[in-house]
Amino acid sequence: MSTKGNKESNWNYRDSARLYNIDNWSSGYFAVNEEGEVIVKAPVGDNQVEDVSLVEIATGLQERGLEMPVLLRLENLVDARLREINESFNEAIRAAKYKGKYRGAFPVKVNQQYHVISEIVRFGKRYHHGLEVGSKAELLIALSIMEDRESLIICNGYKDQEFIDLALQARVLGYKCFFVIENPSEIPLIINRSRELEIDPMIGTRLKLSTKVEGHWSEDSGDRSLFGLNINQLIQVVDMLKEAEMLHCFQLLHFHLGSQIPNIRNIRQGILEACRYYIDLCNEGAPLRYMDIGGGLAVDYNGTCSTDGHSRNYNIQEYCADIVEAIQESLDEYDLPHPTIISESGRATVAHTAVLLFNVLEVTRFQPGPIPESLPDDTPEPIVNLLEVTKAVDPGRIQECFNDVLHYRSQVRDLFSRGEINLRTVAVADNLYLHVLQQIVSQMGSLKRIPPEIESLPEQLADIYYSNFSVFQSLPDAWAINQVFPVMPIHRLNEEPTQQAVIADITCDCDGKLHNFSHIDDYSTTLPLHPFKLGEEYYIGVFLVGAYQETLGDLHNLFGDTNIASIRVNEDRTFDLVHEFEGDSISDVLTYVEYEPQNLFQSFRKKAERAVKSGRITIQQRQTMIRLFEESLRGYTYFEK
């Protein structure tokens, strides 16, 4: 009996949970249950958590006609994340006896979808959690959806007169709406327009700090950052406001060190630097009362709790405590009142709240056939040598075996191109070659150092799981900046996942794949999955996709928006489908690229009619074709059953 057989029979959901590291990246919102399914642990009410299986949700959606791929939004988690952020700040403030308040502002750019913003505004209201906007369009969203006048609206970005007028009208309506100045040239406009409208603007400035942060999204920080005022510009702004007798409107300092800041030391440094500005500006006579620390609170995408770019070396409680204490210590030294602390966490608010679910359609494997017992007498020497190598692979000789098989295989190819051997003989050689490579891959794990030449072998020999989604539409950051998201099957987790796989989407683009996965201790180009069984659904979930992915997605190969389902879990463990949106139809995506579906249909109909006239098809065939065309226009852009 092989040890492998043993291991398989003992494998259970706990092994899967460990393998996919779910407890470390899920922040407690997802787990694996005894049935071997991924569950969402949905907070319902203050101290109650209900478990609902994602498979149950997925099948429930399919029964309602919502096909894969589906973007699943979990309403309870939006509520839970807002609570976590606000209560962590409030707790840090209580613990430090800090005398200011905390106010959050969700940056609309992170997920502008109507239902997401509505939920944030609705659940955020009890904490006066506001919105951060970076354009006129986003300001219009805030003005129409926000009701609570205590919540803040923070206006970043470049502002023309219309933008300024809109924000001033918001002041007239009673909103606490801040201009954050990105450029001194905005000041004269704001002064003039506010005098005309006879309302005091609320003004902040965006600082360009010299603190540089580590991580993937750090271009926003440091002296060369694109955004914010340098010191000369800041002084210019102060002087202009003084001269207009409007310095009393200057109440807020803003900085944004970048998104996904992995190292808490950088955050602390940034705060300390900003406090220096705060103190000196107060000395200049600016009545500052708000410190806006921007976004940057990171999500632990790979569950390593480290300074890796996909992780963070702090939790939210430490983050809040560090910020509160750093501001308090800096300002106490100068006897300055404690400002209201504002943060603009986007990623950390919504990443957990969405899961992309899709099904696997087909699998391609690179599995060699059996090794022949012996070869015919007239077998060319390179093939005989290949057979020898299959028997010789061991961890001490991996590099040597690899070099040998490459050499013999190229000799085989030469024989073939000279016409000395035929295709069937080459196939025998290729099978032996594949055997050796598979053995190398299975023994690589025991090597201390992996030679660079064989590093990419696991990916090259991995199974390809063709799956029903588009990376470009649903996970654009996985493609554009190689971002790692947690990926795992959502069922069969009491079974050992024996296959090493990459996941290919259904665009015909070689970049349309997931091949960067995080495991407990390292990254890998392959993901363990279960053997695919034809005729049986195999569902995969990509987690933590609620931030940035939806609006950045594009129409590569004309795969459109996926179906979206917004779910609310109730206290009795049932779930409601709060909103469902059918994804784009083929007709929708054709309109986006300026086709007129009705015209396409007419012109196809004419073609079919001409074919009838010339006797190439019957009238019945014409009807079938036309109906098919029409139904396709109405249908989903993804693979349908």
Q: Is there binding between residue 262 and ligand PLP (CB under 6 A)?
A: no
CA 562 to CA 545: how far, in whole Å?
A: 13
The strand pair at 527-529 and 340-343 is best described as: unpaired
Residue 60 carries which side chain, given as an amino acid letter?
A: G
Q: Does residue 30 contact residue 41 with C-beta atoms inside 8 Å?
A: yes
* Bridge partner list, 107: 132
Choices 228-236, 343-351, 443-451, 484-492 (CB under 6 A): range interacting with ligand PLP: 343-351
If one asks whether residue 156 binds ligand PLP (CB under 6 A), the answer comes out as yes
The answer to whether residues 288 and 252 touch, using CB atoms and an 8 Å cutoff, is: yes
CA 322 to chain centre: 27
- Give the one residue of 41, 128, 347, 435 binding ligand PLP; rule: CB under 6 A: 347
**Residues 228, 295, 489, 541: which binds ligand PLP (CB under 6 A)?**
295
Q: Would you say 319 or 538 has its CB closer to ligand PLP? A: 319
Position 132 contacts ligand PLP (CB under 6 A): yes
Nearer to ligand PLP, 19 or 155 (CB): 155
**Given CA atoms 43, 48, 54, 58 in this order, what sign does their dihedral have?**
negative
Binding of ligand PLP by 207 (CB under 6 A)? no
- Spell out the SS3 assignment of 343-357: ECCCHHHHHHHEEEE
263 binds ligand PLP (CB under 6 A): no
Which contacts of 166-171 are long-range, i.e. CB under 8 A and separated by 24 or more positions? 166/136, 166/139, 166/140, 167/139, 167/201, 168/193, 168/194, 168/197, 168/199, 168/201, 169/197, 170/139, 170/143, 171/199, 171/200, 171/201, 171/202
Q: How far is the CB of 112 from ligand PLP (least distance, A)?
A: 12
Min dist. Cβ of residue 587 to ligand PLP (A): 34
Chosen residue from 38, 85, 110, 121 binding ligand PLP by CB under 6 A:
110
- Beta strand residue intervals within 491-594, DSSP E: 499-504, 513-514, 517-518, 523-524, 527-529, 539-542, 563-569, 575-581
| Angular region, 526: left φ>0, alpha ψ -120 to 50, beta rest | beta
Instruction: Choose the stretch contacting ligand PLP; rule: CB under 6 A; options: 291-299, 329-337, 352-360, 416-424.
Output: 291-299
Cβ closest to ligand PLP, residue 108 vs residue 386: 108
The set of long-range contacts for 158-162, using a CB threshold of 8 Å and a minimum separation of 24, is 158/182, 158/183, 158/186, 159/186, 159/189, 160/136, 161/189, 161/193, 162/136
Q: Point out which span in 105-113, 230-238, 282-290, 633-641 binds ligand PLP (CB under 6 A).
A: 105-113
Of 124 and 368, which CB lies nearer to ligand PLP in the complex structure?
124
Site string for ligand PLP, 6-45 (x = CB under 6 A): ----------------------------------------
Closest to ligand PLP by CB, 71 or 351: 351
Per CB under 6 A, the segment of 294-302, 318-326, 369-377, 421-429 that binds ligand PLP is: 294-302
Residue numbers 296-315 binding ligand PLP by CB under 6 A: 296-297
From its phi and psi, is residue 178 left (phi > 0), alpha (psi between -120 and 50) or beta? Answer: beta
**344 lines the binding site for ligand PLP (CB under 6 A):** yes
Based on CB atoms, which residue is closest to ligand PLP, 262 or 346?
346
Contact segment (CB under 6 A) with ligand PLP among 102-110, 164-172, 476-484, 609-617 equals 102-110
Told to check if 346 binds ligand PLP by CB under 6 A, we report yes
Name the residue type at position 163: F
Which token pair is 368?
């060699």
One residue of 228, 262, 294, 368 binding ligand PLP per CB under 6 A: 294
| β-pair type (523-524, 463-467) | unpaired
Q: How far is the CB of 548 from ligand PLP (least distance, A)?
A: 7
Tell the smallest beta-carbon distance from residue 483 to ligand PLP (Å): 13
Sheet holding 49-53, edge to edge: 30-32, 38-43, 49-53
Please report, as ranges, the residues that interact with ligand PLP according to CB under 6 A. 107, 109-110, 132, 156, 256, 259-260, 294-297, 344-348
